[in-house]
Chain A
Amino acid sequence: MMKILKELCGAGGISGDEGKVRDIILSRIGGKAEYRVDSLGNVLAFKKGAKRPPKRVMFCAHMDEVGLIVTYIEDSGVLRFDAVGGIDPRVLPGAKVKVGAGGIDGVIGQKPVHLLKDEEKGAAPDIEQLYIDIGAKDKAGAEKYVKPGDSVVFEGGAELFGDGLIKGKALDDRAGCALLLDLMTADLPFDAYFAFTVQEEVGTRGAKAAAFSIEPDIALVVEATTAADVAGVERAKQVCRLKSGAVLSFMDKGTIYDKELYSLAFEIAREKGIGCQAKAAVAGGNDAAAIHSSRGGVRTLALSVPCRYIHSPVSVMAREDLESARALLFELAKRLPALK
């Protein structure tokens, strides 16, 4: 699992430019499932199980990550950009990035602290103030390598960290992709449909099309979700915690989840001794928003791995939570399709 996760996190794939991630996924599912790439770039796959189930279940994870897009090249050779997906501008200054298809190294710069007025020193920048420096001395120098519209990703892969943790770029939602790939390589009790979606971070657009095509009765969205168990946050506001198991959502900003499925998942976790916690906040959103209201409605559940510093250049999750999510995912693959 770590091997595939490293490979997936190392690939750059902002929303709308998920090709490299898709290639890795396709290379893993070739021969194991039937699949096609749809018009938006989603990977839609079908894996035959031992039985044909009463309910059609779609397992979903998104391929894209948050990042930046080049909007303008200044005469001085620096690149102006905008955020693709929800990025807190406070994590951008000082970041190292890869620009364009060629992966040119760049840095996000700003005026040196020594030249700031006192009141500016503690001020978070607006994204319009920031720019990427690739070393080009003027516009012509930059244009040899970069053009407006080019994708920009944070530099990084994934590695083991601290006491049983993983630190990496884009764990949201390469962790979900890795979990689904793991499920697909197993012998499944029932037929299952899989959607590796595009453009989640810019409004769950890929999932909308995927859900329409697959037409599931039930959907399970496999995600990474905000863990705020960090210094200075009181327990009640932590949303979820690392090393406390997989996370089940009852409601977020995009979806009210299916109550029965939510309770069933907790029950299964208890029965099987799988670590599991509720997402203790109505915050964020994911592909479920588009899926549950697709066509005539889809019963939808989200299963997430708790993740610190989500949407920043480097995020952190626990291996044991990934294992819990995996175990619960495998159990749900046995139970959800069999529901009446």
Chain B
Amino acid sequence: MPCFLGGADLEKRDFMDTAGLLVALSECCGTSGRENEAAAFVERELSKYAEVKRDNLGNVIGKMAGDGPRVMLEAHLDEIGLVVTGIDEEGFIKVEAVGGVDRRVLPGCEVVVFGKYPLPGVVCTLPPHLTKDGDRKKVPAVSEMAVDIGFGYERAKELVSPGDRAAFKNRAARLLEGQVCGKALDNRAGVAALLRCAEMLSREKTGVEVAFAFCTREETGQQGATAAAFSVEPDIAVAVDVSYGLTPDSPKIKCGRVGGGPMIGVAPVLSKDVTDLLFRVAKDKGIAFQTEIMAGRTGTDADVIAASRSGVKTGLVSVPLKYMHTPVEVVDAGDVEAAASLLCEFVKAAKEGILL
């Protein structure tokens, strides 16, 4: 399956550089429930380091044999997007949100509709003179929006069916100072950190049994991770996701600084042992980190993994990300690299058995 946005040159790209890996991953499409392009990319990269299989929900799971506690490192593969609900009589495609799309970005936004083949589209906007004064300050509900794919009703009906997914169409790019922007860095940033970590662990031959789980459907309720945690049956797990990066208009208290290192999560639902070990390893190894406090659940796959079977000691590492759930999410490649190092050092420390 070719990656539509990455184009034919994807194979040739240089993934040695983490920013390059982030660009390539972000351009793979993987709206929840249709993660195939992102999954194919991860499967190819991960099989360089681990025994890889796909399960019934599309999760990509790679295993590195070893002994000691079984550690699962997890990142979700899917991204938010749209799902087709119908076609109007003029051929415009009616849609609904998949995951928590920020609908403020949709008017005038370019998307790809995955019909019979990938179809570029534009989310309709009304010209200002047709917008009632009272509505100028309002963004309509997603169900009231439509996507223009440039075809009339008959042709549109042949090409697109209800249930087809759509994703943001936006080329990822390198910004200044090591930052990268892209449409799906939530959570391809976590995916990149895990792939980098797998590479490091395979080089170091740590001998710890590690499962890498790249899970589907996080944005729609963490169903992928629920199944993956059940099958992998880990003793210890760390989920890697993204969290709020500080911007001038965001509350400081809820945000990490982009470029300030990965955020180690502290929350009632997370294992204190795992969290403490993450902090200790970061300090011992001089890896930059920040702390993220959550008062209950974390809103990530960590929540379901921790409650899997008879319970899994679970921690959370997050890459700070700006403009979450928009086509222009931004992360710092350095934070992704630091997260990978943190995970790698964590796995090595976990081998010592102190957690069990």
Bound together, the chains give a CA A107 to CA B250 distance in angstroms of 16
Q: Does B128 contact A (CB under 8 A)?
A: yes
Q: Is the CB–CB distance between B330 and A88 below 8 Å?
A: no
Bound together, the chains give a CA A313 to CA B328 distance in angstroms of 14
Q: Give the shortest distance, in Å, between A245 (CB) and chain B (any CB).
A: 17
B143-177 residues at the A interface, CB under 8 angstroms: 144-146, 148-152, 155, 170-171, 173-177
Binding site for A on B (CB under 8 A): 88, 90, 92, 94, 100-105, 107-110, 119-120, 122, 124-131, 136-141, 144-146, 148-152, 155, 170-171, 173-179, 181, 244, 247-251, 254, 259, 322-328, 330
Chain B minimum-CB-distance residue to A114: B324
Q: Does A254 contact B (CB under 8 A)?
A: no
Q: List 28 A-B contacts (CB under 8 A).
A: A93-B102, A96-B171, A105-B175, A107-B328, A107-B330, A110-B326, A111-B249, A112-B102, A113-B101, A121-B103, A121-B104, A123-B139, A125-B104, A131-B249, A135-B176, A137-B177, A141-B176, A142-B176, A161-B120, A163-B150, A163-B155, A165-B150, A167-B150, A230-B146, A231-B88, A231-B124, A233-B126, A283-B127
B127 / chain A contacts, CB cutoff of 8 Å: 226, 228, 239, 283, 310
Contact among B108, B120, B144, B247 with A313 in the assembled complex (CB-CB below 8 Å): B108
Q: Give the shortest distance, in Å, between B326 (CB) and chain A (any CB).
A: 4
Q: Is the CB–CB distance between B105 and A94 below 8 Å?
A: yes
Given contacts A90-B139, A316-B122, 7 further A-B contacts (CB under 8 A): A88-B125, A94-B105, A112-B102, A113-B101, A129-B249, A134-B176, A231-B92
B259 / chain A contacts, CB cutoff of 8 Å: 137
Q: Is the CB–CB distance between B327 and A94 below 8 Å?
A: yes
Bound together, the chains give a CA A228 to CA B125 distance in angstroms of 9
Q: Is the CB–CB distance between A230 and B148 below 8 Å?
A: yes
Known: A123-B139, A231-B90, A312-B125. A162 touches B104 (CB 8 A): no
From A76, A90, A121, A125, residue with most partner B Cβ within 10 Å:
A90
Known: A112-B244, A125-B104, A136-B176. A309 touches B120 (CB 8 A): no
B107 / chain A contacts, CB cutoff of 8 Å: 88, 90-91, 312
Q: Is the CB–CB distance between B126 and A107 below 8 Å?
A: no
A132-169 residues at the B interface, CB under 8 angstroms: 133-137, 141-142, 145, 155, 159, 161-165, 167
Q: Is the CB–CB distance between B176 and A230 below 8 Å?
A: no
Main secondary structure of the interface of B (DSSP, over half): loop
In order of increasing CB-CB distance, the 10 nearest A-B pairs are: A162-B150, A135-B175, A94-B105, A231-B146, A107-B328, A135-B179, A91-B108, A135-B176, A231-B92, A312-B108
Bound together, the chains give a CA A309 to CA B110 distance in angstroms of 12
Q: Give the shortest distance, in Å, between A9 (CB) and chain B (any CB).
A: 14
Known: A133-B330, A230-B124, A233-B126. A109 touches B148 (CB 8 A): no
Bound together, the chains give a CA A86 to CA B144 distance in angstroms of 24
Contact among B104, B108, B145, B323 with A309 in the assembled complex (CB-CB below 8 Å): B108
Q: Does A229 contact B (CB under 8 A)?
A: yes
A165 / chain B contacts, CB cutoff of 8 Å: 150
Main secondary structure of the interface of A (DSSP, over half): loop
A310-335 residues at the B interface, CB under 8 angstroms: 310, 312-314, 316
Bound together, the chains give a CA A105 to CA B171 distance in angstroms of 11
Q: Is the CB–CB distance between A314 and B90 below 8 Å?
A: no
Bound together, the chains give a CA A137 to CA B247 distance in angstroms of 11
Q: Is the CB–CB distance between A232 and B146 below 8 Å?
A: yes
Q: Does A101 contact B (CB under 8 A)?
A: no
A125 / chain B contacts, CB cutoff of 8 Å: 104
A239 / chain B contacts, CB cutoff of 8 Å: 127
Bound together, the chains give a CA A284 to CA B324 distance in angstroms of 36
Q: Does A78 contact B (CB under 8 A)?
A: yes
Q: Is the CB–CB distance between B324 and A314 below 8 Å?
A: no
Q: Is the CB–CB distance between B92 and A113 below 8 Å?
A: no
From A86, A107, A137, A314, residue with most partner B Cβ within 10 Å:
A107
Chain A minimum-CB-distance residue to B124: A230
Bound together, the chains give a CA A141 to CA B174 distance in angstroms of 15
A121 / chain B contacts, CB cutoff of 8 Å: 103-104
Known: A125-B104, A312-B125. A233 touches B109 (CB 8 A): no
- Render A175-213 as a binary contact track against B, CB cut-off 8 A, 1 for contact: 000000000000000000000000000000000000000
From A124, A134, A230, A231, residue with most partner B Cβ within 10 Å:
A231
Q: Does A214 contact B (CB under 8 A)?
A: no
A108 / chain B contacts, CB cutoff of 8 Å: 328
Q: Give the shortest distance, in Å, between B263 (CB) and chain A (any CB).
A: 15
Q: Is the CB–CB distance between B177 and A122 below 8 Å?
A: no
Bound together, the chains give a CA A90 to CA B109 distance in angstroms of 10
